[in-house]
Amino acid sequence: MYQLLLLRSKILIFFLLCIFLFGVIIQLSAVWFEGVYTKNGLFFCCSNFVDSVYHIALTNQIIKRIPPYQPEIYGVVVQNYHYWGNIISAELIRIFHLPLISTQYQYIMLFLSLFLGLSAVVFTEILQLGKTYNWRGSYFCLGFIYAQRN
């Protein structure tokens, strides 16, 4: 009896991990090929090119100084714009000497997607939805979070 419950628990955890990995892959499919180097230069897929280049330039400015200058106008400090999201990637690039575009579009997005899924699982564990609904609460919350990609 105990072995049957243990096997069932392992199957449920495996199914939860499959949902988790599938959700990460689906979420990353929209941004993974942003800023990829090709033989023709940089390739930006599926997004606003101007906004992508602006955020790359803004992250580059944050690496150099805080508060950052406007990428278009040197000497003018960025005001009334949400550059706080770029600070994390800029600090990782500055400290660990990572490539700017790959960190901005591939590595950070991978970590954000992983942490989003982990926070959904932790949220269901805090509310004890996984125990109340026999892991269905965790499945539903994780599936719902990853299905809401934009």
- The pLDDT value recorded for residue 108 is 87
The answer, yes or no, to whether residue 133 has pLDDT greater than 60, is: no
Distance, in Å, from the CA atom of 118 to the CA atom of 91, rounded to the nearest integer, reads 23
Token digits for 117? 């899924």
Token digits for 23? 């959700």
Query: Nearest to residue 100, comparing CAs of 57, 48, 41?
Result: 57
The answer, yes or no, to whether residue 144 has pLDDT greater than 80, is: no
The answer, yes or no, to whether residue 28 has pLDDT greater than 60, is: yes
* Predicted confidence (pLDDT) per residue in 62-112, tens digit: 898 888 888 888 888 888 888 888 888 899 999 999 998 888 888 888 888
Distance, in Å, from the CA atom of 142 to the CA atom of 22, rounded to the nearest integer, reads 11
What 8-state DSSP symbol labels residue 104? I
Token digits for 12? 């449920």
Q: Which amino acid is at 25?
A: I
- The pLDDT value recorded for residue 8 is 63
How far is CA 122 from each of CA 71, 81, 93, 127, 139, rounded to the nearest angstrom? 39, 32, 29, 9, 12
Q: Is the pTM of this model over 0.75?
A: no
Can you list the alpha helix ranges (DSSP code H) found in the chain?
A: 2-28, 49-64, 84-96, 100-102, 108-126, 129-132, 136-147
* Torsion sign across C-alpha atoms 73, 75, 78, 80: negative
- The domain spans of the chain are 2-147
CA 114 to chain centre: 7
Question: Going by C-beta distance under 8 Å and a sequence separation of 6 or more, which residues neighbour residue 70?
Answer: 76, 77, 78
